[in-house]
Amino acid sequence: MKKEQRTGIIIAAHGRHYLAEADGTRLQCVTRGKKTNVAVGDIVDLTLTSPDQAVIDKIQERKTLLYRSDQYKSKLLAANVTQLFIVVATEPGYTDDLVSRALVASEAAGIAARLILNKVDVTENLEHTRRRLEMYTAMGYPVHEVSAKGRPQETVDALAPLMAEQSTILIGQSGMGKSSLINLLIPDADIATREISAALDTGKHTTTFTRLYHLDSHATVIDSPGFQEFGLYHLSEGMLERAFKDFQPYLGGCKYYNCRHLQEPQCAVLDAVRTGKIAKMRHELYGQLLHESAQTLY
Ligand SMILES: Nc1nc2c(ncn2[C@@H]2O[C@H](COP(=O)(O)OP(=O)(O)OP(=O)(O)O)[C@@H](O)[C@H]2O)c(=O)[nH]1
Ligand SMILES: [Zn+2]
């Protein structure tokens, strides 16, 4: 008997359990052996083992791969995304460390990034938050102001055109309103999440897995669980300096061709930090990431 083959897209991942969608059908999938190198957004070749189950034979070539990592291993966040939306809000406060780490990850992966400032209806902190975000605008990252709860229709009107024909991943710290935005953009998101959770057998932990939704037939959105840390141990020194968009105008301007921009004399990056063209916080993060990249155990 000839086994049936399918091509599908991975729409959710939980541990070594994956859910794929192929020809409109959801399939529970496992990998061959102990492989865990499959990411949400991956296009995969499948062999059906039952009407709703399959084995992943092959991951098709990825256009992009976004990941984070700790000292011990890297963790795939999403495959084939074309842009990253980082959701921040007027309240509660966000941390520049996490926003910048996400931006560095996107640069390293060759993915465009935008910041979405949610809750602009909370006017107390609005001016302060806008000023904080100017740092990213100056680097060339667009900032879009929305209010998922206060002005839902305007929010959809602002975001939908940016997401057309794109595969967008949304990330944000807890409380920024990422779920509110997803529910606004994908009205059936809650139902889909319950179904996926049941299929993956994740029990009550419905928000702890990454999942992909279709906005329409040309656009997808990936929702990833709120992140509290964003390790970038996998980035090499050479990749790091280039992943800081604000460093780019100065690279090549240092006295020493192998300058690490830490304490070398006549360093164009350090000069830019001194004159305020590069934020101190960004340079400190760069130093921290250099340190992290030297600590990998894999
Ligand atoms: N004032 C105001 N509150 C909002 C807005 N959007 C979301 N909220 C509120 O902010 C809180 C957090 O929203 P969620 O959508 O659950 O945030 P989240 O980022 O998904 O947070 P986690 O589920 O913890 O990851 C909720 O109480 C929302 O009602 C907004 O535009 N304005
Ligand atoms: Zn330098």
Domain with CATH 1.10.40.50 in the chain: 237-293
Per the structure block, which two tokens stand in for 78? 């999403």
* Confidence class for position 226, pLDDT limits 50, 70, 90: low
37 is in an annotated binding site: no
- The model's pLDDT over 7-16, given as tens digits with 9 standing for 90+, comes to 999 999 887 8
* Spacing, Cα 71 to ligand 1 middle (Å): 32
CB 89 within 8 A of CB 118: yes
The pLDDT score that the predictor gives to residue 204 is 58
75 is in an annotated binding site: no
* Spacing, Cα 82 to ligand 1 middle (Å): 25
> Which distant-in-sequence residues (6+ apart) come within 8 Å of 260 by Cβ?
237, 290
- The model's pLDDT over 95-128, given as tens digits with 9 standing for 90+, comes to 999 999 999 999 999 999 999 999 999 999 999 9
- Residue closest by Cα to atom 10 of ligand 1: 177
The pLDDT score that the predictor gives to residue 239 is 92
**Domain 237-293, CATH number (from 3.40.50.1100, 3.20.20.70, 3.40.190.10, 1.10.40.50):** 1.10.40.50
Whole-angstrom distance, CA of residue 104 vs CA of residue 235: 9
Q: Which ligand is nearest to the CA of 263?
A: 2
Whether CATH 3.40.50.300 fits 65-223 = yes
Helix axes 280-293 and 96-109, enclosed angle (nearest 10): 60
Q: Is the pLDDT of residue 291 over 60?
A: yes
What string of H, E and C letters represents the secondary structure of 227-283? CCCCCECCCCHHHHHHHCCCCHHHCCCCCCCCCCCCCCCCCHHHHHHHCCCCCHHHH
223 is in an annotated binding site: no
Per the structure block, which two tokens stand in for 110? 């060759």
**pLDDT mean over 241-268:** 96
- Residue closest by Cα to atom 25 of ligand 1: 174
Considering the chain, what is the average pLDDT of its residues? 92
* Spacing, Cα 213 to ligand 1 middle (Å): 19
Q: Is 273 exposed, middle or buried (0-12, 13-18, 19+ CB in 10 A)?
A: buried
In the chain, the percentage of residues whose pLDDT exceeds 90 is 76
Q: Which ligand is nearest to the CA of 88?
A: 1
- The model's pLDDT over 128-171, given as tens digits with 9 standing for 90+, comes to 999 999 999 999 999 999 999 999 999 999 999 999 999 999 99
Domain with CATH 2.40.50.140 in the chain: 5-59
Q: How many residues does the chain have?
A: 298
Q: Is the pLDDT of residue 1 over 60?
A: no
| Torsion, Cα of 89, 93, 97, 103 (10° steps) | 0
CA proximity to 174, closest of 126, 208, 204: 208
238 is in an annotated binding site: no
The pLDDT score that the predictor gives to residue 298 is 64
45 is in an annotated binding site: no
Per the structure block, which two tokens stand in for 238? 């050479």
Residues forming a β-bridge with 261? none
Cis peptide before 92 (omega within 30 of 0): yes
The pLDDT score that the predictor gives to residue 33 is 82
The pLDDT score that the predictor gives to residue 275 is 97
**pLDDT mean over 47-68:** 95
CB-defined site of ligand 1, < 6 Å:
118-119, 121-122, 147-150, 172, 174-180, 226
Ligand 1 binding pocket mutation candidate from 144, 156, 179 (most atoms within 8 A of CB)? 179
Pick the most confident of 203-212, 218-227, 241-250. Answer: 241-250
**Architecture of the domain delimited by 5-59:** Beta Barrel (2.40)
- Residue closest by Cα to atom 32 of ligand 1: 119
The pLDDT score that the predictor gives to residue 294 is 82
Q: What is the CA radius of gyration of the chain?
A: 21
Q: Which ligand is nearest to the CA of 255?
A: 2
